[in-house]
Every structure is written in C-alpha cells, then in structure tokens.
Structure 1
C-alpha cells in the first residue's frame, strides 16, 4: 500500500491559536504549513501585483477575492514540499473556498490519503482579549504579551526583528472579522461533520493543553 499523504485543515476564529498549533503539528509531522492569510500579507508587504490588489481589502478587514486566494494557493501547492501532504491554516472560510479546496483534493488525494479538519473554538470575548496583546514578525512568528511572550520584549525569538501589531488587529476591524466568521463557518462545520472528518478542540486552554488535546485526538488517525 502506498504511503498515505496527510492533509490537515486548521480553522477557527481570529486569534484562536490555529496558526500556532498548525506550526507545532507541522513540525512533528514534517509537513509544510500553508496559511493563505500569511501569504497574502506577505504579498501586500512586498508590494507585488497581488499584494497591491489585496492590500487595501486586508487593511479594512475584508476578504480578498476568491480568484486571488486561489491563485496564491495554487502557486504554493505547486512547490515540491507540498507534494506529500500539508497543513492548511485558516482556510476555508467560505463555501466558495470549501468547494475550491474539495476540487483540489479530488485532483491530488487518493482514497488512501488522510484528510482531517481541526476546528479550534474560542469565544468572541476571548478573541478580543487575545488580539489586544498580539504581536507578529515578518518572518511569520506570532507572540502574545501574556500567553506567548518573546524572550526579549518586542523582539522576535527566531530572527531578532522588531515585532509589530497587524493593521487588521484594530478593535473595529476585529469586530467585523468575528461577525463575518460566525456567519460563514456554520455550513463549513456541517460539511466536515457530515463527512466524519471534523475534530473539535477547546481553544480556551493554555497553548500546551490545546497542543496535547489535538495530539490525543489525532494520534490514531495520522
């Protein structure tokens, strides 16, 4: 039997810790973590053609068009390290994205491969509290003043660069993002539950407890 490739989908509301947990599991499984949101922000900050299109939308808390997101995902999945499986961070967020992803899996995955969706649940109140202290780095690392502080205040542990607050982490924009997420997530959860691949995780635990919870629920599946 051919080795089973692993395709894991991590999703949840903003600041649910899905990126942190995807990175931890990706390291354990030796799989790349693909975050469309990070890819878009990188394009925006570099001033690329895609970044110029998506930048103004991201800055006001909106969603980039399906065409733009599909383009950057296809570009990333074409890289060699994604051929044997990957973790998706924060995608899909809408039915159109779910349909696109399902079509991609039909092309690249076989019946022997593993596809699982990990949903990290966090309340709106907790999301707002977490975002207030969140700081990020251009290298992709993310920190929190209370829950996951860097060793040196304001400086990234990984590359030594200065940390900053994301433009879309303002109180006004985060309210928009939470409301949009809550409206769009129900049919996606229903789809994954119906296909018996949904794994629910309580995200309002410590980072270590969430990591342990995910590992325990996945250990017999991956």
Structure 2
C-alpha cells in the first residue's frame, strides 16, 4: 500500500507511522529522516538542504520532493510506503501526484488523524523532559512524575521545551491549518481520505487506522 499520513502536531503521527508501517510491512518515510539521512551521508541534496537550514531558511519544496523521490525509488519501497510529513502543502501534493503518475503508480489512501485543537495544546504543552536524559518524558496530566519537577528515573530536573509552550503550540497549529490542512480537501476530491480519531489509547488508534485501510481496500475490490 501507498499511504500518506496527515494530522496536526501532537496527533501522534510519528508513533502511528512506525506501528502502521511495521504492520503493513512497508517503509516509513518521514521528512525528518530524509533530511537527516541526506545530510549525514553528505549527498548533493543533503548539502543543498543544509545550506538553506544553516542560513535559517526553509528548505525549498523542490529539494524535499527530490529527496522523497529518491527514497521512494529504493528497493524496499517498490511495493509500498507510508509518507509522514510529506506532502506538507498542496504544491507538494501536486508534485507527488505528478511523480507517481510518471512511475505509473498511485496512492491507496490518505489517513487523516483528527484531534481537537485543545487536546493538541494539552498534549504538547503538558510535556516535560528530563535535563539528564531527554528520553525520560513525563506529562503533567497523563504521566505525571511522583514529585513535581523531578524525574522518577534518575532524579533529574524536568523542564518544558520552548517549542512546547502553549503560545508556540498555537502558532504551530496555525501554520498547520494554513499550509498543511488544505491537502486534506485536495485528497478528498480524489476520494482518498479516511479520517481517524486520534483520541484514546495508541493501540485503539492503530486499530482504527488499519480497519479504515481494510475497508478502503475492500471497497476497491
């Protein structure tokens, strides 16, 4: 299957992408991984992307698209892939369509992870990280530490990242609504969108997504 995963920050896209890709036996292709891989391998695209990033500028769509094209042409993606973080806007979605048309393949589904805005703010703004070990993550509501501000695991100080503040989260949401959300209508016009509630346990969300993909597959038959 060839799938695009869409959703606002805090919807759990990264977690669901890994789980779905494993279940469907297809590679998980994320924009962040593409940038890191190309920059670490010092590919021409990686050098180009780094030059924009080092200057504090956004990486142009054509560079992101070229990286995605290169990754989708690798052997493990021949029979399918799950795209996470790409396309990020309608221009990228149109470019992806052209690319797939050239390869004589098409998307099977676009999974839209839906979360109420206030829940997104609650999820992200409530997150606390340990200064000693970044992988020690707590949440003031869902997984609070035993002692406020203290890591249960190592006793380190817990803190809130600057980009997890409520104001920053709301700004990120506005960017999502303005730039990325329009691709949902773009793909709805093609009959590809399955909207999934991303509320509840991780396993429940994964099951909803797999059930939606199965329904879409059955309907195509």
* TM bracket, shorter-chain basis: 0.7 to 0.9
Indicate if the aligned counterparts of 1:45 and 1:51 stay in contact, CA closer than 8 A: no
- Secondary structure of the corresponding residue to residue 216 of structure 2: coil
- Secondary structure of the corresponding residue to residue 84 of structure 1: coil
- Secondary structure of the corresponding residue to residue 92 of structure 1: coil
How many pairs does the alignment contain?
194
1:32-47 alignment runs, 5 A limit: 32-41=27-36
Instruction: Say yes or no: does 1:206 pair with 2:205.
Output: no
Moved over 6 A (4+): 44-47, 164-167
> 1:15-70, CA deviations, whole angstroms, 9 ceiling, x for partnerless residues?
2111211111110111000001332356568885223422564xxxx753212211
Indicate if the aligned counterparts of 2:136 and 2:153 stay in contact, CA closer than 8 A: no
TM-score, L = length of structure 2: 0.72
| Distance of 2:88 and 2:82 partners within structure 1 | 15
Which of 82, 94, 104 is residue 89 of structure 2 equivalent to? 94
- Secondary structure of the corresponding residue to residue 219 of structure 1: helix
* Larger RCO (CA within 8 A; separation ≥ 6): 1
Which of 103, 109, 115 is residue 108 of structure 1 equivalent to? 103
Q: CA deviation at 1:78?
A: 2.8
Which of 117, 132, 139 is residue 110 of structure 2 equivalent to? 117
Pair 42,51 (structure 1): closer, same or farther in 2 beyond 3 Å:
farther
- Secondary structure of the corresponding residue to residue 221 of structure 1: helix
- Secondary structure of the corresponding residue to residue 201 of structure 1: strand
Indicate if the aligned counterparts of 1:40 and 1:54 stay in contact, CA closer than 8 A: no
Q: CA RMSD in A?
A: 3.3
Q: CA deviation at 1:11?
A: 0.7
TM-score, L = length of structure 1: 0.72
Indicate if the aligned counterparts of 1:42 and 1:51 stay in contact, CA closer than 8 A: no
Which of 2, 5, 13 is residue 10 of structure 1 equivalent to? 5
| Distance of 2:110 and 2:40 partners within structure 1 | 30
Q: CA deviation at 1:168?
A: 5.2
> 1:65-114, CA deviations, whole angstroms, 9 ceiling, x for partnerless residues?
2122113212322321112210001222211111111111112244xx65
1:5-84 alignment runs, 5 A limit: 6-41=1-36, 49=47, 50-54=49-53, 57=56, 63-84=58-79
Pair 203,104 (structure 1): closer, same or farther in 2 beyond 3 Å:
same
Instruction: Say yes or no: does 1:180 pair with 2:179.
Output: no
| Distance of 1:14 and 1:216 partners within structure 2 | 23
